[in-house]
A and B are shown apart, each in its own frame.
Chain A
Amino acid sequence: MAEYAIEMRGMVKIYPGGTVALKGVDFAVREGEIHGLLGENGAGKTTLMEILYGTRSPTEGEIFVRGRRVEIRSPRDAMALGIGMVHQHFTLIPVFTALENVVLGDEPVRSAGLLDVQAARARVEELMDQTGLHVPLDEPVENLSTGERQRIEILKMLYRNADILILDEPTAVLTPLETKELFAFLKRMRGEGKTIVFITHKLREVKAITDRVTVLRKGEVVGTVDTAEVSMEELARMMVGREVLFELEKKPREPEEPKLIVEDLWVRGEGGDYAVKGVSFEVRGGEIFGIAGVEGNGQTELVEAITGLRLPDRGRVLLAGEDVTGARPHHLYARGLGHIPEDRHRRGIILEFTVAENSILGLQRLPPFMNKWGVLQESVVRDWARKVVERFEIDTPGIDAPASALSGGNQQKLIVGREIMKDPKVVVAAQPTRGLDVAATEYIRRTLLRMRDEGRAVLLVSADLDEVLMLSDRVGVMYEGELMGVVRPEEVTLEEIGMMMGGVRLEDIKSGGAKAEAESTGG
């Protein structure tokens, strides 16, 4: 019996663009352990595991599974070796039912290739009973919650008898309660002899669930340690290569009059159903108002309605005292709105455009950038772009480089810089640090705090709970299109926030746990 379930030696991955994702990584997982793979975004965790699962091919390196040298060229090869993976972005077919998704690729058939639906259902139901992971089998996956989708992904692995399970950032989409359930499930799986690789960048989770942990930084292994023998601080240092600032300096500040008021807003989502159901709040000058919640609970639609990208059905939005409900974006920008959009590639910048062109997006029709004949004033644009680059410390080959040449962090700085240079009264920042490295994240967060200190009203929507609690003066928690409550971060416990994220109203929490519990299980 080999000591290691998996051993990867000297893994190198160079992407076609020349990016070196892995610089000779050695990685070994013992049979029957939960092994954490810790690192920042871009450290190479996902790339390493995708090589093991066969969705990416390594430039160099050898893989051993249970001591035997193997070639893994596709997920088929990996599955044959008993390796399964739950990707961070789920790989489910949205229009297929849960049942179809689970059996896809290994479908039971009768003669002539006809699907044996009864046999498929029987096998999957048995699996659900064994594992305790239940999902509605006949519902198209697109109608299911992210938690349910993750369960389907796990069932998919187990259906193929995988005994080496790879999970890539599995808790990113879960409520605290769902996370707890997942951890219990993983421990049960370990008890049954499965080997688990758990990819994460969250230190708390490493401590909570793993036996050993390998830390990656910029494509290299910093070390592999027994989890019990390291502190969170030590892990953090290994991960980022320096001390992490867990606290940002936030000066106390008296908020001013409300600059953004949202009244009883109702907004429909893509499917036509209400995604935002009667949300009201106000953001005052000199205040950061945070919106927390598991993604997909209406935050996106709320932001789109406030920033003029989606028409609300009912309710009002007031910007600096003026009713701007349903106004178009350029109208809003002219009245003092700055918007850091959630999907920066779709709505924040144009990747093919130069840094200079991107630096004036939204300003291009205004003087002095355009003269009265409608001609862009190039020298003015270039001076402006240089100012943005300099003031926001954007690392770029030059202002004529395409935005696609910048790293994600610098692209985001470009967007943030542009929006701030507009001198907005109200800033709406949606997922402003998603996918950024620690340095860029810290920069963006500092900038948001600076805007608050300058007296602007900041609406911060983020799926990163730590971020919302760290930056905000007040926090609203959204669940299925409604605000469960508005709290001050210093006056709330993580458990209370977690309950609100899971659909319990603040007043029910305050009026006693028993009632809240009854409602949450009853509803």
Chain B
Amino acid sequence: MQVAELLRFLLYPTFYAGMLRMMVPITLGAVGEIISERSGVVNIGLEGIMMLGALVSTYVGHFTGSMVLAVVSGLVVGLAAGFLHAGIAVNLAGDQIIDGVGLNLFAVGIGEVLLYLTWGSFATSPQLPPEVRVPSIHGFSPFVVLTLLVAAATWVVVEKTRWGLRLKAVGEDPVAAEAAGIDVFKVRTIATVVGSLLTASAGVFLSLDWLGAYTKNISAGRGFIALALVVFSRWNPLTALLGGLIFGFLFQLSQSIPSGVVPDQILWALPYLVTLLISAGFLAKARPPGAVGRPYKRV
């Protein structure tokens, strides 16, 4: 009886609307990373790219008052981060992990410094004015629609098009792809940049749609959860969407259960614990693209 009372929130549409929104950043990040990893490039800087997307769009929104400029600037950051990673990991054949770590650390640092220098707070920016925030359409965030479309479109591109076949070829065996006449560097660069762009759009969602501000640790590990989701999904964007819904449910659940029933900390930790289980359970069995993480060099 009491349990039923506690779980009443499951009956209200608002719970599911919230769950859909919670799905957005993780799924966008995961689908972006799937595109990148399918080409053989790992980008563990998802977390940092999300943060930078959120930070820059908040800044531009705050100072220009324009939602369009705010969104565009956040995406430009994604492009820039993508080209940076592609430059290092693809063209210079550098270590794919190190620069991702660097990006994550940089994003945390620059966010805190700018918050303090601009607004005198280590914790949060002021709320953005309503005209800068991305409006809901019939109660639906446009980002939810975008996410569904992106996941579906990515699946079609990867599985059904010429470009998808070449993407997979490059990620499985770049030497063989090159021998078949494919420009490995071009494909990997495009995939990396598109992946980064999608991840940055997740950051834009966090600041302009979800929170309406930039706060310290705004992404709260969602970039890393997205990485786990890539493995869980076995590099399939539709499965990633499904996984994103599960995580959306868990995040929304952890916020919906009234406090005092279960210790809050355990509730908040729920999505992260599930991430851990997924990583431990699926990593061993999953078969990643053959050349993932391996730079390609011509002799």
Q: Is the Cβ of A100 less than 8 Å from the Cβ of B165?
A: yes
A93-B160 CB under 8 A given contacts A15-B299, A104-B165, A104-B166: no
A55-B178 CB under 8 A given contacts A107-B162, A109-B162, A113-B163: yes
A76 CB → nearest B CB, Å: 4
Docked pose: A158 CA to B260 CA in angstroms: 72
Q: Is B177 an interface residue (CB 8 A)?
A: yes
A79-B181 CB under 8 A given contacts A93-B176, A95-B172: yes
Q: Is the Cβ of B161 less than 8 Å from the Cβ of A113?
A: yes
Q: Chain B residues with Cβ under 8 A from A75's Cβ?
A: 178-181
Q: Is A1 an interface residue (CB 8 A)?
A: no
Q: Is the Cβ of A113 less than 8 Å from the Cβ of B162?
A: yes
- With beta carbons under 8 angstroms apart, the residue of A15, A91, A112, A160 that contacts B176 is A91
A167 CB → nearest B CB, Å: 14
Q: Is A518 an interface residue (CB 8 A)?
A: no
**B170 nearest CB neighbor, chain A only:** A93
Docked pose: A42 CA to B183 CA in angstroms: 28
A93-B182 CB under 8 A given contacts A104-B165, A114-B160, A115-B160: no
Cβ proximity bits B169-191 to A, threshold 8 Å, 1 near / 0 not: 10011011111111100000000
Q: Is A65 an interface residue (CB 8 A)?
A: no
Q: Chain A residues with Cβ under 8 A from B179's Cβ?
A: 53, 55, 75, 85, 87, 91
Docked pose: A434 CA to B168 CA in angstroms: 33
Q: Chain A residues with Cβ under 8 A from B178's Cβ?
A: 55, 74-75
Q: Chain A residues with Cβ under 8 A from B180's Cβ?
A: 75, 91, 101, 104-105, 156
Q: How large is the interface on B (under 10, 10 to 19, 20 to 34, 35 or more residues)?
A: 20 to 34
- With beta carbons under 8 angstroms apart, the residue of B182, B183, B290 that contacts A104 is B182
Q: Chain B residues with Cβ under 8 A from A105's Cβ?
A: 166, 177, 180-182
Docked pose: A91 CA to B182 CA in angstroms: 12
Q: Chain A residues with Cβ under 8 A from B172's Cβ?
A: 93-96
User: How many pairs, one residue from A and one from B, have CB atoms within 8 Å of each other in the complex?
Assistant: 77
Docked pose: A95 CA to B288 CA in angstroms: 11
Q: Is the Cβ of B176 less than 8 Å from the Cβ of A115?
A: no
Q: Chain A residues with Cβ under 8 A from B161's Cβ?
A: 109, 112-115
Docked pose: A90 CA to B298 CA in angstroms: 17
- Could you tell me which residues of chain A, from 144 to 186, have a CB within 8 Å of some CB in chain B? 156, 160
Q: Is A273 an interface residue (CB 8 A)?
A: no
Q: Is the Cβ of A91 less than 8 Å from the Cβ of B175?
A: yes
**B172 nearest CB neighbor, chain A only:** A93
Q: Is A106 an interface residue (CB 8 A)?
A: yes
Cβ proximity bits A84-125 to B, threshold 8 Å, 1 near / 0 not: 010100111111100011001111010011110000000000
Q: Chain B residues with Cβ under 8 A from A56's Cβ?
A: 298-299
Q: Chain B residues with Cβ under 8 A from A113's Cβ?
A: 161-163
B80 CB → nearest A CB, Å: 27
Q: Chain A residues with Cβ under 8 A from B181's Cβ?
A: 74-76, 79, 105-106, 160
- Could you tell me which residues of chain B, from 183 to 221, have a CB within 8 Å of some CB in chain A? 183
Cβ proximity bits B135-161 to A, threshold 8 Å, 1 near / 0 not: 000000000000000000000000011
Docked pose: A95 CA to B160 CA in angstroms: 16
Q: Chain A residues with Cβ under 8 A from B163's Cβ?
A: 113
Docked pose: A16 CA to B198 CA in angstroms: 39
**A13 nearest CB neighbor, chain B only:** B299
A14 CB → nearest B CB, Å: 11
Q: Is the Cβ of B162 less than 8 Å from the Cβ of A93?
A: no
Q: Chain A residues with Cβ under 8 A from B160's Cβ?
A: 114-115
Q: Chain B residues with Cβ under 8 A from A55's Cβ?
A: 178-179, 298
Q: Is the Cβ of A93 less than 8 Å from the Cβ of B177?
A: yes
Q: Chain B residues with Cβ under 8 A from A93's Cβ?
A: 168-169, 172-173, 176-177, 290
A96-B175 CB under 8 A given contacts A74-B181, A107-B162, A114-B160: no
Closest 10 CB pairs of A and B: A105-B180, A91-B179, A91-B176, A105-B181, A76-B181, A113-B161, A104-B180, A107-B162, A93-B172, A113-B162
Q: Can you give 18 contacting A-B residue pairs, CB < 8 Å?
A: A16-B299, A75-B179, A76-B181, A76-B183, A93-B168, A93-B176, A95-B172, A96-B165, A104-B165, A104-B169, A105-B182, A106-B181, A113-B161, A113-B163, A114-B160, A115-B160, A115-B165, A160-B181
Further pairs besides A74-B178, A93-B172, A109-B162: 6, Cβ < 8 Å:
A91-B173, A93-B173, A94-B172, A96-B165, A113-B163, A156-B180
